[in-house]
Chains A and B, each alone.
Chain A
Amino acid sequence: MHGSGIPIWFFIGVLLLIYGSLILGYGIFEAVIGPMAPVELNYLHTPIWWGGILAAIGVLYVVKFRPGRTSK
């Protein structure tokens, strides 16, 4: 966004990176020690791949829209 310094996409990237890292971290922890919550389809290890996707998108946005880079 022009004229506003940090683009909104950077904020979104930061949030997705934080959330993705937390969820991915929990997913790995859960995969090691076993499920901590009785949810369906536990065997799919959803926190690992969903957390990974969120973190990857977060990294992409943080790098692409970091402050100081030309804003879009």
Chain B
Amino acid sequence: MYGLVPASIAAGSFAPLPALLAFSAAPLAHLRPLDIAVIAIYFGMVVWIGIYLKGKSNTSEEFFMAGREMTAWIAGLSFVSANMGSLELMGWAGSAYQYGILATHWYWVGAIPAMLFLGLVMMPFYYVCKTHSVPGYLDLRYGGHARSVAAFSFAIEMILMSGVNMFAMAVVMKVVLGWDITFSIFVSSIAVALYVGLGGLRSAIFNEVLQFVLIWGGALLVPILGLYQAGGVSGLKRQIMTNMQSVTGVSSDSYFHLWRDTAHFAANPMGVHWTGIVFGLGFVISFGYWTTDFLVVQRVLAARNLRAARMAPIIGSFFKMAVPFIVILPGLLGLVLLQNADGSRRQLVGEDVVATCSLNSSGQVADRAACSAAMSKTNLTAASRQKVLAGGDDAELHSYNQALPLMMVRYLGPGLLGLGITALIAGFMSGMAGNVSAFSTVWTYDIYKPLINKKGSDSHYVMVGRMAIVVGVAVSIGAAYLVMHAHGIMDYVQALFSIFIAPLLAVILFGMFWKRATRLAGFLSLLLGIIFSAGLFMWVKLTPAALATVALSTGAKPMAENVFRALWAFLFAAVLVVVISLLTKPRPAAELEGLVYGATKLPKEEPVPFYKNEYIWAVLVVIIFAALNILFW
């Protein structure tokens, strides 16, 4: 999900995470017995749910598709929860600290239009053709070659991303709580393998809904108490306005505007242009993720009927619009409320600076010259720099990504802190479980069944799915340790998603809405689009100056590269689909029934009261979405 990962992470600030392993400063928080009990009860509950649901996951339809009996609410909450990993929670809070409410674009324009489009326009085709997966849809529409390219890409990306997330979680637990890396990796992995392996997708979805509630229950107090202490929204604004101009060098007014300062790359703290936000993020990356990434689409495919499948993303969009309250707001509050022990304002810096200023065993900065040079590029005051170099209590630096846990430690006492930490762990586990359950389905239905064993029994495929979960978790653990020892590969792993998703979106959209698109066009466009996208990524990686070409401006920052690369890859694949389709023979219209707009008779839905009508709720979402964007223009 590189295109959707927090700016502070996509900009590479998580790349030096392994360097933090040498960071010998005291952990941010100390858990008390009540906190430990809260965390232990959570682990007990998720495993209990897995054990309880094992008896209800015996057939492949039950194990891989949760029996296709989820209500719209459950599918909708699971749909949003699978995307709410703690990397996102912590990373976007850190991004808000750095860039202000511009970070909210990834929750609003970068999600809401795509979620509505999935529910109202695309879901009927996914649902009517009864596919088990997104590669499965490609198989029906374009044939086995396109399916195989997508299936292998998904499988590799999901399992590696799961490993990267696992490692990132373990590092966070080490930095925040001082927990051993191996302990964190194995405890969370075993719990996920147990509850997904036993109860399949149903268990993953159940736990995602549970985790969604916990994330809110654990994180909601921070903005409530923070706003109270800051004197409300007006107090927060006033303090940022008066304090930040001298520190950030950017007009602090920019921190409160979503669109006003995006006409020029250099006019806003994030260095993005509105065209990149609208077309790159709002269209290609967002639509690619929310409408074609099997990790989230699988949750909606498990809905009990077409109306529930259409309502699920719409219900999810309400909650998605609210997430900035527990993610973006704490980041902004951190700007004015975080303090050192002596009462001075605590300034956060990038992970790279924290790593460069890591302490040696005697509690002093290990490399003073490098640390001093790194700090000189930040907005740290001279007094703060001196304090870091002098060492001692409360002298260590903290990164942007620690804004959320630091705010938790500030306000949450025993029990509540355990709940907050449980919210972070729940976020990590829901993301990991989502990846692993989707991997199991893609492996079994789109790789094993068509390419290795076509004639297995239903129970055989369930067994293969369970084994895939165990193997998937094991490979994820291997990937986590690989990243630990060769952290440069983390950038590449995170880029896999965005390299793959843009051409996939082009191929699926043309497949779903253009009868003329042919099998060969689908396969070649997907394959060549992925190669083109990977080429752009490597070009910028090897020649950083190429960023200005890819993002169309010398003022562009790394986030701009993500959105523009996705845009070019989408356009490249789209042109290929059209050109190759016009040069090759189309499929007979009769073969496209249930797959393509204009060739499909959608099932007539029973009339329902207005409050159950998906279009009514979608209109309400659009009104709220527009109002929020105007309010924070």
Give A contacts to B, CB under 8 Å. 1-6, 8, 11-12, 14-16, 18-19, 22-23, 26-27, 30, 35-37, 39-42, 44, 46-47, 50-51, 54, 72
* B206 CB-CB contact with A under 8 Å: yes
B74 contact from A1, A18, A46, Cβ within 8 A: A1
* B228 CB-CB contact with A under 8 Å: yes
Given the known interface contacts A8-B206, A12-B213, the answer about A41 and B228 at a Cβ–Cβ threshold of 8 Å is yes
- Chain A residues with CB under 8 Å of B70's CB are 1
Given the known interface contacts A36-B413, A37-B413, A40-B229, the answer about A15 and B41 at a Cβ–Cβ threshold of 8 Å is yes
Given the known interface contacts A4-B202, A35-B413, A37-B413, the answer about A11 and B419 at a Cβ–Cβ threshold of 8 Å is no
Q: Mark B401-441, 1 if CB is under 8 A from A, else 0.
A: 00000000111111111010000000000000000000000
User: Would you list the 4 A-B pairs with minimal beta carbon distance, nearest first?
Assistant: A37-B413, A23-B415, A26-B415, A39-B413
Q: Mark B193-233, 1 if CB is under 8 A from A, else 0.
A: 00000000010001001100110010001000100110000
CB of A19 within 8 A of CB of B419, answer: yes
Measured between C-beta atoms, what is the minimum distance from B206 to chain A in Å?
A: 5
CA distance A15 to B32 in the complex (A): 19
Which residue of chain A has the shortest Cβ distance to B339 in the bound complex? A40
CB of B209 within 8 A of CB of A15, answer: no
CB of A23 within 8 A of CB of B52, answer: no
Q: How many residues of B contact A (CB 8 A)?
A: 38
Q: List 9 A-B contacts (CB under 8 A).
A: A2-B69, A6-B52, A19-B419, A36-B32, A36-B413, A39-B411, A40-B225, A46-B413, A72-B71
Given the known interface contacts A16-B213, A40-B229, A54-B217, the answer about A4 and B69 at a Cβ–Cβ threshold of 8 Å is yes
From 216 to 252 in chain B, residues with beta carbon under 8 angstroms from any chain A beta carbon are 217, 221, 225, 228-229
A4 contact from B34, B53, B210, B225, Cβ within 8 A: B53
Given contacts A1-B74, A23-B415, A39-B409, 12 further A-B pairs with CB under 8 A are A1-B70, A2-B71, A3-B69, A4-B53, A12-B209, A18-B41, A19-B41, A19-B217, A36-B414, A47-B415, A50-B221, A54-B217
CB of B217 within 8 A of CB of A16, answer: yes
- Chain A residues with CB under 8 Å of B213's CB are 12, 15-16
Which residue of chain B has the shortest Cβ distance to A4 in the bound complex? B56
Measured between C-beta atoms, what is the minimum distance from B26 to chain A in Å?
A: 15
CA distance A18 to B229 in the complex (A): 29
Centre residue among A22, A40, A54 by max chain B CB count within 10 A: A40
Which residue of chain A has the shortest Cβ distance to B228 in the bound complex? A41
Given the known interface contacts A19-B419, A41-B228, A72-B71, the answer about A5 and B410 at a Cβ–Cβ threshold of 8 Å is no
- Chain B residues with CB under 8 Å of A37's CB are 32, 413-414, 417
Given the known interface contacts A4-B56, A15-B41, the answer about A46 and B221 at a Cβ–Cβ threshold of 8 Å is yes
CA distance A14 to B74 in the complex (A): 17
CB of B210 within 8 A of CB of A15, answer: yes
B225 contact from A5, A12, A36, A44, Cβ within 8 A: A44
- Chain A residues with CB under 8 Å of B144's CB are none
Measured between C-beta atoms, what is the minimum distance from A21 to chain B in Å?
A: 10
CA distance A36 to B417 in the complex (A): 13
CB of A40 within 8 A of CB of B209, answer: no
- Chain A residues with CB under 8 Å of B417's CB are 37
From 62 to 103 in chain B, residues with beta carbon under 8 angstroms from any chain A beta carbon are 67, 69-71, 74
* B451 CB-CB contact with A under 8 Å: no
B413 contact from A2, A3, A4, A30, Cβ within 8 A: A30
CA distance A41 to B74 in the complex (A): 36
* B166 CB-CB contact with A under 8 Å: no
CB of B410 within 8 A of CB of A40, answer: yes
Centre residue among A35, A44, A50, A51 by max chain B CB count within 10 A: A50
CA distance A33 to B37 in the complex (A): 21
CA distance A54 to B221 in the complex (A): 12
Given the known interface contacts A8-B210, A19-B419, A35-B413, the answer about A41 and B225 at a Cβ–Cβ threshold of 8 Å is yes
- Chain B residues with CB under 8 Å of A5's CB are 52, 56
A2 contact from B221, B304, B419, Cβ within 8 A: B304
- Chain B residues with CB under 8 Å of A35's CB are 413
Which residue of chain B has the shortest Cβ distance to A53 in the bound complex? B217
A15 contact from B42, B67, B202, Cβ within 8 A: B42
A46 contact from B69, B409, B416, Cβ within 8 A: B416
Measured between C-beta atoms, what is the minimum distance from A20 to chain B in Å?
A: 9
Which residue of chain A has the shortest Cβ distance to B221 in the bound complex? A50
